[in-house]
Amino acid sequence: MSKGRELLKNTLIIGFGKIATQFVAFFLLPLYTYFLSPAEFGFVDLAVTYLTLLIPALTLQLEMASFRFLVDARKDDDRRRSVISNVVYMAVPLVIPIVVGFVVFSLAFKFEYLGEVLLAGLSMVAANMLLQITRGLGDNKQFAIASMIIGLTTAATAIWFIAFLGMRVEGMLLSLAIANLAGASYLFLKKRVYKDIRLGLRDKDLQREMLGYSAPLVPNGAAWWVINVSDRTIITIMISAAANGIYAVSNKYAAIFASLFGIFSMSWTESASMHIDAKDRDKFFSEVSNAALRMFGALGLGLIAAIPFIFSWFVDESFHEAYYYIPILVLGALFNAIVGLYSAIYIAKKLTRQVMNTSLAAAGVNLVLTIGLIPFFGLYAAAAATAIAFLAMAIFRHFDVKKYVTITYEKHLFVVLGILYVIVGGLYYTDTLWASFAAMLIAVTASIVLNRGTLSVLAGKVFRGGRKRA
């Protein structure tokens, strides 16, 4: 199987499962915004964001080490057992101080919903670890199934707890805890991970090697915390929790883009790790980067153009202000996608220190801009600061990664996308029906033109397949 077809196959398999997980939060927006106030929704969003970004750092990003080292151990059973066993040896002792520290902090500051947040956090630790182990083993089918279990369980329990039992904040948190625990339990039993955990396989040299890989990702996680969480924390402190609820809804729409790229990023990271030493590496990496930029650049245009038609379907009127920040956050998500293309190269080369350095620099940009501009521009400042931070990181990584892989982009692609985003964004803020239809027409036309090569290849395969079956 060619590298490109392998990448496409893995992307489709992972996407099938991840859509259930990533998009469930978006499709539950009507439930959340109807039963929860902006302040309550803002609180839960902030708590979940903290958990999502802090837990990998507190566990020393060992789940990422398990993925990367298992990629190299797929054909070696002894090495596979050694990697899984030593990851467990290092991860389990970390859970105890995390629980104790969290309880002490929560009691000292009278943190509400202590039990629900802690349960959600621990279940996320287990799910993340087992999902990455499964990816490392190359079983994307089971990864997708577990992701679907998490997504569907989240939806079912959230509806039951919130709509029928009236549990509101507790219901959202408990639904996340139960869903992640269900996904983790499935993989633990299905992949028989318990059979790969051997008490006699403790290897200090391997542990040091894995920690050397994962440890630089800890400050990198802190940098991502600054970029993704600091703006929400600052909004809550400098404006209000209700304002953070508004901002959280805006992010849900931008998260559609991020979720779709995240699906591609998972398979791209695996493919890059497998082919980083191939002779045609530069050509392959350049082809993938150009195709991804065209595809996700068009996706961002389409999403912005579609928002005026779908926004009111999913969001209660009390959250309408969120409408105005979405295009800026989608643009930031596109810049973050470019960052992700380069991240796969660093991970493939096991150069996690470079990932850390570039992320810390971007975090500094985001923090300074957010604090400095919020008093003058409110939530627009937070959205713009995030976009600028990701743009700065993408530019830096583009030039830094040339030391390892040469990525060559198509001429004028960035200029064309820039012009299209200005036009579609301008029509979006015109906020009239004719402008919305014009923006949609431009976005659809641009998507077809930008991706005509990819579309023609896919169409050719479909028609050839149809003739063969006939």
94 pLDDT band, cuts 50/70/90, is confident
What confidence score (pLDDT) does residue 461 get?
46
- Out of 147-151, 366-370, 400-404, 450-454, least confident range: 450-454
Residue 351 has phi, psi (to 5 degrees) of -105, 60
Alpha carbons 309 and 437: distance in angstroms, whole number: 9
427 pLDDT band, cuts 50/70/90, is very high
- Here the tokens at position 7 are 């990448």
**Is residue 453 exposed (0-12), middle (13-18) or buried (19+ Cβ within 10 Å)?**
exposed
pTM more than 0.85:
no
Q: How far is CA 184 from the centre of its chain?
A: 19
Alpha carbons 83 and 196: distance in angstroms, whole number: 9
Alpha carbons 19 and 151: distance in angstroms, whole number: 8
Sign of CA dihedral 237, 238, 240, 246: negative
Question: What integer is the mean pLDDT of 118-141?
Answer: 87
Q: Could you give the C-alpha distances from 194 to 185, 190, 197, 291, in angstroms and in order?
A: 11, 10, 5, 40
Buried b (16+ CB within 10 A) or exposed e, 94-109: eeeebeeebeeebeee
Question: What integer is the mean pLDDT of 341-356?
Answer: 83
Q: How many residues does the chain have?
A: 470
- Residue 67: name the closest of 180, 214, 212, 192 by CA: 214
CB 274, CB 227: distance < 8 Å: no
- Out of 51-60, 215-224, 367-376, 421-430, least confident range: 215-224
What confidence score (pLDDT) does residue 414 get?
92
CB 300, CB 330: distance < 8 Å: yes
CB 170, CB 113: distance < 8 Å: yes
Q: Which residue has the tokens 């995390």?
A: 98
- Out of 74-78, 188-192, 406-410, least confident range: 74-78
Alpha carbons 161 and 36: distance in angstroms, whole number: 12
- Out of 96-100, 152-156, 234-238, 273-277, least confident range: 96-100
Amino acid identity at 61: Q
470 pLDDT band, cuts 50/70/90, is very low
Other CB atoms within a 10 A radius of the CB of residue 297 amount to 24
Alpha carbons 461 and 167: distance in angstroms, whole number: 50
**239-286 pLDDT, tens per residue?**
887 888 888 888 878 888 887 888 788 778 888 887 887 888 888 899
Residue 444 has pLDDT above 70, yes or no: yes
11 or 311, greater pLDDT:
311
437 or 238, greater pLDDT:
437
**138-167 pLDDT, tens per residue?**
888 898 899 889 988 988 998 898 888 888
Which residues neighbour 312 within 8 Å (Cβ) at sequence distance 6 or greater? Answer: none
Alpha carbons 229 and 328: distance in angstroms, whole number: 17
CB 314, CB 29: distance < 8 Å: yes
- Residue 71: name the closest of 145, 139, 150, 170 by CA: 139
Question: What integer is the mean pLDDT of 392-416?
Answer: 89
Residue 469 has pLDDT above 50, yes or no: no
- Here the tokens at position 108 are 């000292």
**299-309 pLDDT, tens per residue?**
999 999 999 88
- Here the tokens at position 355 are 């990932």
What confidence score (pLDDT) does residue 3 get?
64
- Residue 79: name the closest of 213, 196, 215 by CA: 196
- Residue 172: name the closest of 160, 181, 183 by CA: 160
What confidence score (pLDDT) does residue 91 get?
84
What confidence score (pLDDT) does residue 177 get?
92
- Residue 305: name the closest of 441, 426, 440 by CA: 440
Average pLDDT, the chain: 82
Sign of CA dihedral 334, 7, 80, 189: positive
Residue 17 has pLDDT above 70, yes or no: no
355 or 23, greater pLDDT:
355
What confidence score (pLDDT) does residue 456 get?
57
Question: What integer is the mean pLDDT of 366-383?
Answer: 89
- Residue 27: name the closest of 151, 176, 157 by CA: 151
- The residue extents of the domains of the chain are 223-465
Q: Could you give the C-alpha distances from 193 to 17, 83, 196, in angstroms and in order?
A: 21, 12, 5
Q: What percentage of the chain exceeds 90 in pLDDT?
A: 20
Ramachandran region, residue 198 (left: φ > 0; alpha: ψ -120 to 50; beta: rest):
beta
